[in-house]
């Protein structure tokens, strides 16, 4: 018979831990009982479908035990930090849950349970009443709790997913597990005050403190940029600390979003990248249809030996950029100097 636990008296964090420890032991016992039952049923020659049902129930019990222990880990993290913060803040409201005689060595519910001990002499608590360090220590404790509690909850979610994956249950969808983990990551980072510096796809004015410009700054550009990657900032006590800047590229009405680079900025295999062509560059290829973005098929070095190289008779360190022609099976090469500026498309 499976064991049972009594949840009638769960009013403190210590009692909550005891409850989950007992529940985990019950689940462990269920796992053992099901194992014995499986052996008996297998000896009786029962069909695989019936045995699979018992094995599925056994895996459920094993996962439940793991989740109980993950919950205990979260409670331990909460008690270690919040009980300390509560002890440093005798007037805090709703502290009953963190008063636990088993954890503090003081009777739960007593009026002195929340009062911090204040030794005398050189070892006096810097957070004691009347000390100028009191508020600083209290603020520091709260800040640590604000950060570590969401992180510990995130670790509990990760532990649960690890146990599910280790169990190898075919009914568990890896995509759902990934979504649960991502949801927990975003929730934890949001609770500790992390947020985006800027939203990808938005357009704004370049700010050196918040943005990192990809490529070279275009000459005479008006400073408008489009965000590629968001960056992160920490929001605390009404202040914002940029931890990583948002990646941006220039933007204008004619080209949209682009990066100013050189032939070396392009992938040698092309990978569908596009560059801007117009008459200002000089000679244009046969596939030219007016100022627009043109798809690159490949990029190759030029050593000056090609008869179409403009640097005949000398050494060339330029590059050939092969563009797709109207016929998908053909391409046309354009010669660029190694340091020639070109615009790369970032509108997709």
The packing angle between helices 48-78 and 134-167, to 10°, is 170
- At residue 245, the pLDDT reads 93
- At residue 85, the pLDDT reads 53
Are the beta carbons of 23 and 68 closer than 8 angstroms?
A: yes
Are the beta carbons of 299 and 267 closer than 8 angstroms?
A: yes
DSSP class of residue 270 equals -
3-class SS of residue 89: coil
Q: State both tokens at 322.
A: 């092969």
- At residue 222, the pLDDT reads 93
In angstroms, the CA 97 to CA 318 distance is 72
The packing angle between helices 174-191 and 134-167, to 10°, is 180
In angstroms, the CA 59 to CA 67 distance is 12
- At residue 151, the pLDDT reads 74
Residues facing residue 324 across a β-bridge: 331
Tens of pLDDT, residues 132-168:
677 777 777 776 767 667 777 777 778 777 877 777 7
In angstroms, the CA 84 to CA 97 distance is 13
Are the beta carbons of 336 and 342 closer than 8 angstroms?
A: yes
β 246-252/256-261 pair status: antiparallel
Phi-psi region of 329 (alpha: psi -120 to 50; beta: other; left: phi over 0): alpha
Are the beta carbons of 202 and 226 closer than 8 angstroms?
A: yes
- Model pTM score: 0.54
In angstroms, the CA 74 to CA 20 distance is 11
In angstroms, the CA 184 to CA 223 distance is 37
β 246-252/211-213 pair status: parallel
- At residue 15, the pLDDT reads 78
In angstroms, the CA 229 to CA 224 distance is 16
Are the beta carbons of 256 and 347 closer than 8 angstroms?
A: yes
Task: Name the stretches of the chain with pLDDT < 70.
Answer: 1-11, 75-132, 143, 145, 147-148, 270-271, 281-283, 312-314, 325-330
């Amino acid at each position: 018979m499976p064991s049972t636990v009594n949840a009638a008296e769960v009013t403190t964090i210590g009692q909550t831990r005891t409850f989950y420890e007992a529940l985990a032991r019950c689940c462990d016992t269920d796992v053992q009982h099901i194992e014995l039952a499986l052996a008996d049923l297998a000896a009786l020659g029962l069909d695989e479908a019936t045995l699979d049902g018992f094995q599925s129930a056994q895996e459920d019990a094993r996962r439940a035990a793991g989740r109980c222990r993950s919950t205990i880990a979260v409670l331990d993290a909460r008690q270690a930090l919040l009980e300390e913060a509560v002890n440093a803040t005798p007037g805090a409201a709703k502290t009953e849950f963190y008063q636990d005689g088993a954890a503090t060595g003081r009777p739960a519910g007593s009026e002195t349970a929340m009062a911090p001990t204040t030794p005398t002499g050189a070892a006096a608590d810097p957070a004691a009443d009347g000390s100028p360090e009191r508020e600083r220590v209290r603020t520091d404790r709260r800040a640590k709790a604000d950060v570590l509690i969401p992180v510990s909850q995130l670790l509990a979610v990760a532990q649960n997913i690890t146990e599910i994956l280790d169990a190898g249950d075919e009914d568990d969808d890896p995509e759902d597990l990934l979504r649960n983990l991502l949801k927990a990551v975003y929730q934890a980072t949001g609770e500790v005050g992390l947020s985006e510096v800027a939203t990808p796809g938005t357009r704004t004015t370049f700010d050196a403190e918040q943005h990192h410009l990809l490529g070279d700054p275009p000459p005479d550009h008006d400073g408008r940029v489009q965000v590629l990657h968001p960056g992160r900032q920490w929001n605390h006590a009404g202040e914002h600390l940029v931890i990583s800047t948002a990646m941006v590229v220039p933007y204008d009405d004619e080209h949209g979003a682009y990066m100013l680079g050189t032939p070396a900025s392009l992938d040698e295999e092309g990978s569908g990248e596009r560059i801007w062509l117009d008459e200002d560059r000089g000679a244009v290829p046969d596939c030219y249809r007016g100022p627009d973005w043109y798809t690159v098929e490949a990029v190759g070095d030029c050593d000056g030996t090609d008869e179409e190289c403009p640097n005949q008779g000398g050494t060339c360190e330029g590059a050939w950029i092969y563009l797709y022609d109207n016929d998908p099976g053909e391409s046309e090469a354009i010669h660029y100097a190694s340091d020639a500026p070109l615009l790369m498309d970032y509108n997709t």
